[in-house]
Structure 1
Amino acid sequence: MTTNQLNDQETDPITGVRSYGIKVLLVDDQRIIAEAVRRDLAEADDIEFHYCSDPTKAIKQAAELKPTLILQDLVMPEIDGLMMLRFYRVAPETAKIPIIVLSTKEEPETKSEAFALGANDYLVKLPDKIELIARIRYHSQSYINQLQRDEAFRALQESQKQLAEANQALQKLSSLDGLTGIANRRRFDEFLEAEWRRGLRQAQPLSVIILDIDFFKLYNDHYGHQQGDDCLKQVAATLAGTATREGDLVARYGGEEFTVVLPETEAEGAWAVAEELRTGVQEQKIPHAQSKVSEYVSISVGTATLVPTQDSKPAEIVALADKALYLAKQEGRNRVMGHG
């Protein structure tokens, strides 16, 4: 039996909080009591009334209905009201729903036990209509407020999670080169600074590789900028697929220049990686008709290794690697030169 059918409103798109109507579930085996309560609540347009005469079905009905308050008769056949209180409070669906006990008993001991078992209020039936409605509204609104606070908190947590994910995605995008998809110059500078400080703390060597595509301007002039971009992408993919050790960074340094940072790597190890990069690009066999050193796209590579000290800066290792790259070009390109 229901009256004043009120549907919950939709979730607020801004706060993520729903609006709730007051729903009352009366559990009482006496239909005459149910009819009396129904009449009392009929004038309250904000209260939706439901009735259950079978206590064995009350938990299931409450779980489906999701009332904002349960009116529970104390004296019932099969399962008394005190036992029902125990059931309500252990069932997850009803554990927090406010309960008003309705009883003909006024003994303090009975009231005390009811409250000890989780009752929120106790009324001798049948109470005055005005008092009944007032107590229903009071307990229901307190429960609704708690539901809305919980929803607002969950919505805030979800919003914060989405914001963190968005910031993380934005941070990732801001650290990637738009053309090649590998790390950009900004990410290289940040990573080198961090690894320099770590190398300083741990007294570990740090290696940097700088490489340049040989005669790339001639490649662009001959094949066009679109194919030039494709060439950069393919070289970047080759570099990233070669320097795969966890903790290393491959980045586009600018134009046709790329760099690799190798933490905790000695000069010999850096030279070996650099040679792998050079041969890896060569083996891609990207045609380069205008190259003066190979029929395919090739790279010149410079390496540098330092153990960071208090008196040195990251720019020094970059300058040394750049100097080694210059020597590689001077020596004929398509080769590796190292410093350190």
Structure 2
Amino acid sequence: MSQEISAAADLELPLTTFKVRVLLVDDQLLVVEAVRRMLADEPDIEFHFVTAPSQALDCALRLHPTVILQDLVMPNVDGFDLIRTYRGMDKLRHVPIIVLSAKEEPKLKALGFAVGANDYLVKLPDRLELLARVRYHSGAYISRLQRDEAFRFLRESQKNLADANIELHKLAALDSLTGIANRRLFDETIQREWQRGQRQRRPLSLLMCDVDCFKMYNDTFGHMAGDLCLKKAAAVLTSCLKRTTDLAARYGGEEFAIVLPDTDAAGARKVAEDCLRQLEDLRIENPQSTHKVVTMSIGIATFVPAPDMAEGDMLASADRALYAAKSGGRNRAVSADDSAGQTNTGSGSSRTP
């Protein structure tokens, strides 16, 4: 093998180097020199050769030739078998192969094409004919590479765009301060779950939650502390949800909402009381409030959606219950159907797991 091949064989030439690259596999140095001279004055053509057929496959894999000039009769190696080997490799399956044979026999030509050759020349061919065939087959192969590169780039771009759209959708659905769902996602979820409840005749519960005396907390400790307080409240709400179908969202300001599909009134109350207890257990100081720590009030509404109702009815019902919880002393959960405006502990809660 020549020094030129030895140096080039150590390099992994990228497929994007779309230059005509000829690899001659022939054990006769006289043929190698003759072909080299035919191609020597062509600046757009790289010429490489290998005289040891056992090294042909390795060189072809490393060089990424755009055309292989393949001798048929070589020591210890059958040229037809070597062509079959090329065609069995993913990286060489489509590389054009021009057979260089000392014999012009129809049977040899037919066998060459049968095993995967693209062309057949009797050596030594005319220089102009060799150049024309090398450029023709290389041009077709380079066009294939360019098409494959374009498709690969398109697939990668489409995947990147799809991934970016997913991330943008996630970001667009999250509250920037607390990291939980925002009002937009809440509106989409409550509408979807309301429609599902109508179809399946299953209960749907809504908790409207408001941090008590939050303005006093902000006035006392400042807005940075207020933001941190809201983050902690959001974390409490999400920690009380055990199912992927449940949703905690920031409704606006210091007000939050929890959507509980397939949850009856008792199950909704259990979630509400867990939220109240866990927030109070944090013992976030709020000296201006009655309870001296940060608490929240919760309004609970449970509906089995019906065609003559809308999700707005449930929102209004939960809002009224929240107002009753505030009026009743805060730090409590009040159900919409609790006319007395007092909490009922309740038992036997039902939540589809």
If the length of structure 1 is used for normalisation, what is the TM-score?
0.93
| Alignment partner of 1:149 is 2:147 | yes
What are the equivalent positions in structure 2 for 1:61-76 lying under 5 Å apart? 61-76=59-74
Find 2:172's aligned residue among 154, 174, 185.
174
Partner of 2:211: 213
The amino acid across from 2:29 in the alignment is R
Match of 2:115 among 114, 117, 122: 117
**Correspondence for 1:258:** 256
Shift of 1:18: 2.9
For residues 278-312 of structure 1, give each alpha carbon's deviation from its aligned partner in whole angstroms, at most 9, with x where no partner exists: 111111100010102x0110111011111122222
Paired residue type of 2:167: A
Using the TM superposition, give the Cα deviation of residue 339 of structure 1 relative to its aligned residue in structure 2, in angstroms: 2.7
Identity %: 53
Structure 2 equivalent of residue 158 of structure 1: 156
Q: Which moved more, 1:310-319 or 1:67-76?
A: 310-319
Give the aligned partner of residue 181 of structure 2: 183
TM-score (norm 2): 0.90
CA distance in 1, matches of 2:119, 2:199: 65
For each residue in 1:103-147, what CA deviation from the matched residue of structure 2 results, as whole angstroms up to 9, or x when unmatched? Answer: 122221211111111001111111111111111111111111111
Q: Deviations over 1:76-101 (max 9, x none)?
A: 12112111111111122322211000
In the alignment, residue 273 of structure 1 is paired with which amino acid?
Answer: V
Q: Which residue identity is paired with 1:271?
A: R
Over residues 311-334 of structure 1, what are the superposed CA-to-partner deviations in whole Å (9 max), with x where a residue is unaligned?
221111111111111111121111
Aligned to 1:325: 322
User: Equivalent residue for 1:33?
Assistant: 31
| Partner in structure 2 of residue 247 of structure 1 | 245
Secondary structure at 1:71's aligned position in 2? strand
Structure 1 Cα separation of the partners of residues 233 and 97 of structure 2: 71
Partner of 1:302: 299
Query: Could you say which residue in structure 2 is the equivalent of 1:14?
Result: none
Q: Distance in 1 between matches of 2:142 and 2:252?
A: 59
Shift of 1:245: 1.7
Runs of 4+ in 1 over 2 A off after TM superposition: none
Structure 2 residue 299 is matched with structure 1 residue 316: no
Q: How many residues align?
A: 331
Residues 161/64 of structure 1: CA separation in 2 closer, same or farther (3 Å cut)? same
Question: Which of residues 87, 94, 97 is equivalent to 1:96?
Answer: 94
RMSD: 1.9
Q: Note the residue ranges of structure 2 that are not aligned, 5 or more in a row.
A: 338-353
Q: How far does residue 203 in structure 1 lie from its aligned partner after superposition?
A: 1.7
> 1:228 deviation in Å?
0.9
Contact 1:72–1:100 under 8 Å retained in 2: yes
Deviation at 1:209, TM superposition (A): 0.5
Task: Output the amino acid matched with 2:180.
Answer: I
Name the structure 1 match of 2:83.
Answer: 85
Instruction: State the match for 1:42 in structure 2.
Output: 40
Q: Deviations over 1:167-226 (max 9, x none)?
A: 111111111111111111011001111111222222211111101111111111111111
Q: Give, as a single letter, the amino acid of the residue that structure 2 aligns with 1:157.
A: R
Structure 1 unmatched ranges of 5 or more: 12-16
- How much has 1:19 moved relative to structure 2? 4.4
2:18 matched residue in structure 1: 20
Other structure's SS at 1:317 match: helix
Letter in 1 for 2:160: Q
Corresponding letter in the other structure for 1:264: D
Question: What is the alpha-carbon distance in structure 1 between the residues aligned to residue 129 and residue 113 of structure 2?
Answer: 19
Aligned counterparts of 1:256 and 1:319: Cα–Cα separation in 2: 18
Indicate the residue corresponding to 1:336 in structure 2: 333
Letter in 2 for 1:25: L
118-127 or 199-208: which moved more?
A: 199-208
Indicate the residue corresponding to 2:195 in structure 1: 197
Q: How does 1:264-279 map to 2 (within 5 A)?
A: 264-279=262-277
SS in 2 for 1:243: coil
- Report SS of the residue matched to 1:304: strand
